[in-house]
């Protein structure tokens, strides 16, 4: 039997709380709660602290990974009309980011998990279409930012084959150039943090530039209509490039990538002025 949200909230507010297998199941069940205090401040924060502690075990890591990659976690109600399901998916992702960060330094995941991480993350990334950031009443959904945090942790993980992750980077570009939503909650920063992790692991600047150029140049070839969808792409694309420009420039003063990004921005300016 599952606790009610109020019962779980009271329980998690205990100072010297020990997370048992039973309590873990309760927390996973309510991980997508629409109560931002329970979801963000208690379930996520308590789980993150516990995962990074010395008390965390491999069996608990396997249970969390199993949940995250199930239809109850990262893939919960995808492709269904459910305006609140994104919270369960998004916070499942956020817990996975902590788990991967832990595993990168202290091995807690089963070997079999590594075989599926890349494909499962890309599957989710290709399917997610709820890109809202802050949702009134319910708080942060932030699916794009949270899955970006997962990729940041995964790109830094020693078991990640970074040169096999280009499809994920391309999908992030597609999402951040969407005509369906305007990103206003720093999603670009979180995604680019992951990209910079990939860059440090060996993804070359010319590879990243090519992945950016292809969709941008294809979009620039379209007639300028100034319709809402086209204006959304304009705003999203300019913000993506501006953010990437400064982040690379600050990280690596010898890179020519900022100059090439500036050229893309100039092309956009010429087309849309």
pLDDT in tens, 123-151: 999 999 999 999 999 999 999 999 999 99
Look at residue 100 in the predicted model and tell me its pLDDT: 98
Asked if residue 216 has pLDDT above 90, the reply is: yes
pLDDT number for residue 79? 85
At 273, is the pLDDT very low, low, confident or very high (cuts 50, 70, 90)?
confident
Helix ranges, 16-57 (H): 21-29, 36, 45-51
Q: pLDDT band at residue 1, thresholds of 50, 70 and 90?
A: confident
In the chain, alpha helices (H): 5-12, 21-29, 36, 45-51, 58-68, 85-105, 111-127, 143-156, 166-176, 187-200, 205-220, 228-251, 257-271
The dihedral over CA atoms of 261, 168, 90, 107, expressed in degrees to the nearest 10, equals -110
Going by C-alpha positions, the residue among 263, 181, 189 that lies closest to residue 220 is 263
Can you give the pLDDT at residue 16?
A: 87
Token pair 């945090």: residue: 149
* DSSP state at residue 163: G
Contact yes or no for 180/131 (Cβ under 8 A): yes
Report the largest interatomic distance among the alpha carbons of the chain, rounded to a whole angstrom: 62
pLDDT of residue 205: 96
What is residue 71's predicted lDDT score, i.e. its pLDDT?
97
| Residue-averaged pLDDT of the chain | 96
Determine the pLDDT at residue 120.
98
- Residue pair 171/126 in contact (Cβ under 8 Å)? The answer is yes
pTM value is 0.97
State residue 29's pLDDT score.
98
The CA-to-CA distance between both ends of the chain, in Å, stands at 61
Burial 39-69 (b: 16+ CB within 10 A, else e): bbebbbebbbebbeeeebeeebbeebbebbb
Q: Is residue 91 within 8 Å of residue 32, measured between CB atoms? A: yes
Q: 255 is written with which tokens?
A: 């890179």
Report the distance separating Cα 106 and Cα 260, nearest Å: 39
Instruction: Please report the pLDDT score of residue 15 as a whole number.
Output: 82
**Tokens 């010898």 sit at which residue?**
254
pLDDT band, residue 176 (cuts 50/70/90): very high
Nearest 5°: phi and psi at 140? -80, 120
Can you give the pLDDT at residue 267? 97
Q: For residue range 76-120, what is the model confidence (pLDDT) as tens digits?
A: 999 888 999 999 999 999 999 999 999 999 999 999 999 999 999
* Long-range contact pairs involving 236-242 (C-beta distance under 8 Å, separation at least 24): 236/176, 236/177, 236/178, 236/182, 236/183, 237/176, 237/177, 237/268, 238/265, 238/268, 239/183, 239/188, 240/173, 240/176, 240/177, 240/188, 241/212, 241/265, 241/268
Q: What is the mean pLDDT of residues 242-259?
A: 96
Mean pLDDT, residues 24-52 taken together = 98
| Residue 238, both tokens | 């300019």
């Amino acid at each position: 039997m599952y606790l009610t949200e109020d019962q779980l909230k009271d329980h998690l507010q205990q100072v010297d709380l020990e997370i048992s297998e039973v309590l873990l199941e309760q927390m996973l069940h309510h991980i997508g709660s629409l109560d931002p205090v329970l979801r963000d401040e208690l379930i996520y924060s308590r789980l993150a602290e516990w995962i990074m502690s010395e008390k965390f075990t491999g069996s608990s890591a396997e249970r969390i990974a199993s949940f995250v990659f199930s239809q109850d976690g990262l893939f919960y109600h995808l492709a269904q009309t459910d305006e609140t399901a994104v919270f369960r998916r998004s916070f499942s992702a956020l817990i996975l980011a902590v788990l991967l960060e832990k595993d990168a330094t202290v091995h807690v995941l089963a070997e079999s998990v590594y075989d599926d991480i890349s494909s499962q993350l890309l599957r989710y990334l290709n399917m997610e279409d709820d890109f809202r950031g802050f949702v009134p009443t319910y708080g942060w959904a932030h699916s794009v930012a949270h899955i970006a945090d997962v990729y940041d942790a995964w790109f830094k993980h020693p078991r990640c084959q970074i040169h096999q992750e280009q499809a994920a980077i391309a999908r992030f570009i597609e999402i951040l150039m969407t005509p369906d939503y305007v990103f206003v909650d720093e999603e670009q920063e979180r995604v680019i943090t992951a990209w910079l992790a990939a860059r440090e692991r060996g993804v070359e600047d010319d590879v990243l530039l090519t992945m950016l150029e292809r969709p941008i140049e294809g979009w620039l070839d379209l007639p300028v209509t100034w319709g809402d969808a086209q204006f959304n792409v304009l705003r999203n694309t300019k913000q993506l490039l501006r953010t990437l420009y400064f982040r690379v420039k600050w990280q690596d003063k010898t890179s020519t990538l900022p100059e090439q990004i500036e050229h893309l921005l100039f092309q956009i300016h010429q087309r849309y002025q």
